[in-house]
Amino acid sequence: MAKQLFIKTFGCQMNEHDTEKIAGVLSNLGYSLTDSPDGADMIILNTCSVREKAEYKCYSDLGRLLELKKKNPDLVIGVGGCVAQQEGERIVQKAPYVDMVFGTDNISEIPKLLEKKKGQRKGAVSTERRKKGLVPQGGTDFISVPFPSMVRNHPVKAYVNIVDGCDKFCTYCVVPHTRGRERSRQPEDICHEIQGLASAGYKEVTLLGQNVDSYGKDTGGHTDLADLLHRINDIPGIMSIRFVTSHPADFGDRLINAMKRLPKVCEHLHLPLQSGSDTILERMKRNYTYPEYRDKIRRLREAIPDVAVTTDIITGFPGESAEDFDKTLEAIEEIQYDGIFAFKYSRRPYTSARLYGGQVPREVSEERLSQVLEIQDCITQEKNQACIGREFDILIEGESKKDKRNLTGRTRGNKIVHIPMEEGISIGAILRVRITSATLASLKGEVVRQGRGL
């Protein structure tokens, strides 16, 4: 019988995608995924350190895993992701029952680590970063070639890494310190991977990078994101292309034009604003002002009137006054986002803002966070209600998790839509759906006809 592997994934889509790579490497060693830690032969925590208490959460989860290991001494425990990258050896010192620790560049070394662990008491650790353009000895260059094997967790939509790491060093963000400098994959390798996905029946790809607008800058700038989208748009079988995350300083007209011209590129942009105050944006080292940001959104909406725009907001960044925060609220009102991910600022290791004066009390950041969410809920509610009666093309992704009598898909603007299960509708179909009702979280609709591409 296959050995059972449980992976707990924290954080962003990049981490979700890394989990697919971890599962792929381990499937070659005879492991298959299970959705419960009880009875698993191996448990891996794929950690995230972007926000508060990540290290603490990791150690408290490990404490619970120790109980499972006491019951089953053969249980293998691994820690990967950004906390692993950041903490390295400290993890096996603090939690000596951990068998292996691997950084974000070391997933392909898992078999070697497991082998090494067999010969020693101490957990095996590898967090060595792959240098720009270099392949670690004996390792696999998973940035510039498709990862050898992946266990993808969805049958019709797939994540594809285009650029890893980040060079921006926003002053609150730990990512450049955990995932390292920007490394773009070759366009040929990306297209090859996507052709493979199309042949395997995938309909949608989401291109991933901490800053996708930087794509290609480190490899000579011959192919930027707009060029890459043109090439992917030509791949038969792929019906829908998304990309995250864009950066307001780099996002511009070339990408707007590509989004407008290319039929497969979805009309959705996730463009993190973080704050509406220019003083705070400068302290965050974001390299744009709010008027510049607003102008880019205006040009985008002029080109693509129906485009959905979403954002990230941080409340309580050091030095954020009541006036600064008001500017964030005004920006949210003015832009009218389709959705917001909002976070209260948390002090992260290695970042320069951790040393800034004017740290905002937790209660204040929390109160501001709830104000952001409250305002956005009203906007989202209104926007969702306005969808009632309209028709959208929906890619059917699968059964609804909450109600098995429904199917779930997304509009090109990334809104979740539930439709009643009907005979003859298959996962991966693109349907024309009329929206019949709306809540804050999702839309409900009925099939008008089978849509494009079928």
Query: Residues interacting with ligand SF4, by CB under 6 A?
Result: 166, 168-170, 173, 175-176, 210-211, 247
Select from 343, 360, 368, 413 the one that contacts ligand 5AD (CB under 6 A). 343
Task: Calculate the alpha carbon distances from 382 to 86, 333, 372, 376 in Å.
Answer: 42, 12, 16, 10
Closest by CA to 14, choosing from 225, 209, 204, 242, is: 209
Nearest distance from residue 171's CB to ligand 5AD, in Å? 9
Angle between helices 322-335 and 290-303 (to 10 degrees): 10
Instruction: Compare residues 49 and 411 and give the one whose CB is closer to ligand SF4.
Output: 49
Residue type, 433: V
169 binds, among ligand 5AD, ligand SF4, none (CB under 5 to 8 A by kind): ligand SF4
Q: Is 348 in the site for ligand 5AD (CB under 6 A)?
A: yes
In this structure, the number of other CB atoms found within 10 A of the CB of residue 436 comes to: 13
Helices of type H across 4-145:
13-27, 54-71, 81-87, 89-94, 110-118
Nearest distance from residue 342's CB to ligand 5AD, in Å? 8
Question: Which span sits near ligand 5AD by CB under 6 A: 73-81, 102-110, 345-353, 425-433?
Answer: 345-353
Instruction: Compare residues 150 and 173 and give the one whose CB is closer to ligand SF4.
Output: 173
Question: Chain centroid to CA 292: how far?
Answer: 25
Q: Which residue is nearest to ligand 5AD (CB)?
A: 312
Residues 6+ positions from 108 with CB-CB distance below 8 Å: 25, 139, 140, 142, 147, 148
In this structure, the number of other CB atoms found within 10 A of the CB of residue 217 comes to: 15
Site for ligand 5AD in 154-183 (CB under 6 A): 172-173
348 binds, among ligand SF4, ligand 5AD, none (CB under 5 to 8 A by kind): ligand 5AD
Closest by CA to 415, choosing from 443, 444, 385, is: 443
Residue type, 294: R
Site for ligand 5AD in 189-218 (CB under 6 A): none
345 binds, among ligand SF4, ligand 5AD, none (CB under 5 to 8 A by kind): ligand 5AD
Site for ligand 5AD in 216-275 (CB under 6 A): 272, 274
21 binds, among ligand SF4, ligand 5AD, none (CB under 5 to 8 A by kind): none
Distance, CA of 217 to CA of 447 (rounded, Å):
43
Instruction: Compare residues 170 and 419 and give the one whose CB is closer to ligand SF4.
Output: 170
Distance, CA of 174 to CA of 185 (rounded, Å):
22
